[in-house]
Amino acid sequence: MWFIATRTTLAGIILLVVGLIILPKSEFFAVFKNWKDLLTLLSFAVFGLLANMFTFFHAIKTGNSSTATILQYLSPLFIMIGAVIFTKKKTSRVDVISFVLALIGVVLMITRGDLGHLSIPLISVLWGIGSGITAALYITIPQNLIAKYHGILITGWGMLIAGIISNFFSPIWVNPPKMTTASILGIGIVILIGTVLAFLLMVLSTKYTTAAIISITDAVQPFTTLVLSVIFLHYAVNVAEAIGAIIVVVAIYVLNRYDAD
C-alpha cells in the first residue's frame, strides 16, 4: 500500500504540474466547479485508479507479473460484458469469438496446459480478474470527463485524489521501507516512465495516429510483459502457457480493433 500511495501521489503531482505549464490556467480547477463532474472524478479515482492498482499489485504479489498483466488486459471483455448487461447491447459474432478465445487463453495460462490444477494460487487469479474489472472501470468512468476536460488534468487529479486516500491507510512518511539506490531507481522508473511518460505518450499519440492503431499496440503489451519476464526475471514459460498468452493477445486485438473501427 505504501508503494501505491507513493506512486499515485507523485505521479498525480507531476501530471498536474505538466498540465499547469502547457494548458490554459482557466482549465486547471474547472472540473471542481461542477458537482456532478466532481463526483465522477472521485469515482474514477477510487473505483478506477486506486482499485485497479490495488488489485493489480496484489495479483502480482500472490502470483506473477505476466499472468497479472494478461488478466488485467481482459478489460475490453469486461467492458463488453458490462455493455451487454447494463445497456442491453446486442452481442456480435466478434464479441462471442473474442470472449471464447480469451477464456481458452486464460485457462491455458493459469493451468499451463494441465487442467487438473492451477499454476498460480486461486487468490491470484481472483485478484487478476478484479484488476481486469477495475481496469474496465478505469477506462469507462472518465470518458465524459476527458471529452469535456483535458486528459492530463483528469488523470492528474484522479491520481492525486487516489494518493491522498491511500495516505490515510499508509502514509508515505510513516514507516517507509528501507531504501537502497536500486529501490529508489526502480520506484522512479515506475513513476516517471511507467506512469507519467506512458500516459503522456499515449495522449500525444492520438494526434498522430488512429484509435485502431493505438488499440493494436495496446493489445501487444501483455505479450511484451511475458517476454520481458522471461528475459529479466527468468520466468519459465512452457508451450501451453505461451500459446495461451498469444490467444489472449489475439482476442484483445480482435475486440479492440473491432471497437476502434
> pLDDT tens digits for 46-99?
998 999 999 999 998 998 777 787 788 778 778 878 888 887 777 778 878 888
Q: Convert the pLDDT of each residue in 92-116 to its tens digit.
A: 788 788 888 888 888 887 787 776 7
pLDDT score of 120 more than 60: yes
Exposed / middle / buried, residue 207 (Cβ in 10 Å: 0-12, 13-18, 19+) = exposed
The 10s digit of each residue's pLDDT in 194-250 is: 888 877 776 666 566 655 555 556 666 767 777 777 787 777 778 888 888 888 888
Q: Which residues contact 79 (CB under 8 A, 6 or more apart)?
A: 136, 139, 140
Give the mean pLDDT of 132-160. Answer: 89
Cell matching residue 209: 495516429
Give per-residue pLDDT as tens, 24-50: 999 999 999 999 999 999 999 999 899
Distance CA 54, CA 65 (A): 14
**Angstrom distance (rounded) from CA 119 to CA 2:** 28
- Give me Rg for the CA atoms of the chain: 19
The answer to whether 133 touches 78, Cβ cutoff 8 Å, is yes
Q: Let me know: does 14 contact 193? Beta carbons within 8 Å.
A: no
Distance of CA 214 to the CA centre of its chain: 15
